[in-house]
Amino acid sequence: MQEGKDRSYMQQALALARRAAELGEVPIGAVVVHQDSIIAGAHNRRELDQDPTAHAELLAIRQAAAQLGSWRLVGCSLYVTLEPCSMCAGAMILARIERCVYGAVDPKGGFLGTLGNLGNHPGLNHRFEVVPGVEADQAAELLRSFFSRLRSR
């Protein structure tokens, strides 16, 4: 049952990633789910905003906190198309995210299993469940085709 929900929410994150690509952003999308409803969604906006912290995860976390009226996102799951970096994984810890479900692994920056795992670090005051590889092929293909188009210009 949960696998079907995970795939469905990831499809929403993938739709946001496709929107990012249309705008010339690296195609990464994220949604935050609370009580079986999407309460926030965002895509990368680093180029549009000229902000190195404008990652899809951080933008979605900010929206979710505003929606709930609390920085504590207890009971929330974050779905993102690419394995989060250390900054985004750290933000999930600070926000008390319950679960992170991601698509493609990030061999150069992923910090929820690849280069490290901040989500389960024993020295930190919060840990969360990590579910990798949901719709990974679609997420990876979006990234591959985006960078292929950039290189061919």
Residues assigned a catalytic role: 57
| Other Cβ atoms closer than 10 A to 104 | 24
